[in-house]
Amino acid sequence: MSGTAPVAPAPPRTALGRLGWAVADGWTITRRDLSHWARRPAPVVVGLLFPVMTVLMFAYLLGGGITVPGGGDYREFLVPGMFAMTMVFGVETTFAAVAGDAAKGVTDRFRSLPMAASAVVTGRSAADMLASVLGLAVMVACGLAIGWRWHNGPAAALAAVGLLLLLRFALLWVGIYLGLVARGPEAVAAVQILVWPLGFVSNTFASPAAMPGWLGVIAEANPLSATVAAVRELFGNPGWDGASWAAQHAMTLAVVWPLALVAVFLPLAVRRHRDLGR
């Protein structure tokens, strides 16, 4: 009968069917997010170049006065830390995208469609993880260009990359949750207030041993410091060892901290997305 509204297809009844449905819908959202970057490449290029400029600034302008603990080349000390910082900077991108979609009503429109409820957050997470892989590849090329090298073989290097992406995956859910809570991209300044201290009060640019005592304790306890120390050890770069408990167990903490963040913020993000509009 003409004029009759189309009936939305019912979700599959089997668990396997529902999983396939969710994956297909999540990939649709991922492609949508990637297509936005293809149509507006300028923000993507700026996001890729900013950490490169930071590396060059510290390597050639500011790093000359920084002593590497235990000795060694400062650029080899710096580059693994900047790999991790690039993962941290991604929180702002995730937050802005999620908050922007929520503020413009895009998220609510997606929720009204016959699609898997998880598709919006899983699609965003997949798109941002792909962007993080690209950003990490650019940073590796930058590090190689200024003289950084890994020294413990390809297996250890791949393990280090895995820890970096695990950190990004954990922080991604922090960004998604904060974006759903804020529902406005103008609040990105508040996220920067959280992200920048996390990045700089760490062992990324200097050893905590060179900081005032209380600040060094905070830097040692920073989850970012655990990942930085662990990847330096895996890459065979200087500056990963230390006398504190956190430094001695950096490899374990580099796994435990991200998993703890995922355990807290993934359910919060899913619940917040489910409760939108109520």
Confirm if 198 and 224 have CB atoms less than 8 A apart. Answer: yes
The predicted structure's pLDDT at residue 5: 43
Confirm if 170 and 259 have CB atoms less than 8 A apart. Answer: yes
The predicted structure's pLDDT at residue 236: 94
Higher pLDDT, 168 or 32: 168
Q: What is the DSSP letter of 222?
A: -
Q: Which residues make Cβ contacts (< 8 Å) with residue 43, sequence separation at least 6?
A: 37
Q: How does DSSP assign 23-91, residue by residue?
A: HHHHHHHHHHHHHHHHH-HHHHHHHHHHHHHHHHHIIIIIGGGPPPTTS--HHHHHHHHHHHHHHHHHH
C-alpha–C-alpha distance, residues 101 and 121, integer Å: 11
Q: Which residues make Cβ contacts (< 8 Å) with residue 72, sequence separation at least 6?
A: 237, 238, 239
Mean of the pLDDT values across residues 180-193?
75
C-alpha distance from residue 220 to each of 63, 216, 223, 241, 242 (Å): 20, 6, 8, 12, 10
The predicted structure's pLDDT at residue 11: 57
The predicted structure's pLDDT at residue 39: 85
The pLDDT tens digits of the residues spanning 56-81 come to 998 888 777 787 877 788 999 999 99
State pTM to two decimals: 0.87
- The average confidence (pLDDT) of the chain is 85
C-alpha–C-alpha distance, residues 278 and 268, integer Å: 16
Q: Which of 134-138, 178-182, 194-198 has the lowest mean pLDDT?
A: 194-198
Confirm if 54 and 82 have CB atoms less than 8 A apart. Answer: yes
Share of the chain above pLDDT 90, in %: 38
The predicted structure's pLDDT at residue 138: 95
Residue 4 pLDDT exceeds 60: no
Confirm if 231 and 84 have CB atoms less than 8 A apart. Answer: yes
C-alpha distance from residue 86 to each of 50, 147, 195, 211, 274 (Å): 9, 19, 11, 23, 30
The pLDDT tens digits of the residues spanning 243-262 come to 788 888 999 999 999 999 99
C-alpha distance from residue 169 to each of 59, 120, 125, 137, 161 (Å): 28, 16, 8, 16, 12
C-alpha–C-alpha distance, residues 124 and 110, integer Å: 13
C-alpha–C-alpha distance, residues 184 and 101, integer Å: 8
The predicted structure's pLDDT at residue 6: 45
Q: How does DSSP assign 247-269, residue by residue?
A: HHTHHHHHHHHHHHHHHHHHHHH
The pLDDT tens digits of the residues spanning 205-225 come to 888 888 888 898 999 999 999
pLDDT band (50, 70, 90) for residue 2: very low
The predicted structure's pLDDT at residue 146: 93
The pLDDT tens digits of the residues spanning 16-52 come to 566 676 788 888 888 888 888 788 888 888 888 889 9
Higher pLDDT, 209 or 135: 135
Residue 10 pLDDT exceeds 80: no
Q: What is the DSSP letter of 4?
A: P
C-alpha–C-alpha distance, residues 4 and 12, integer Å: 24
Sign of the dihedral through C-alpha 207, 157, 264, 182: positive
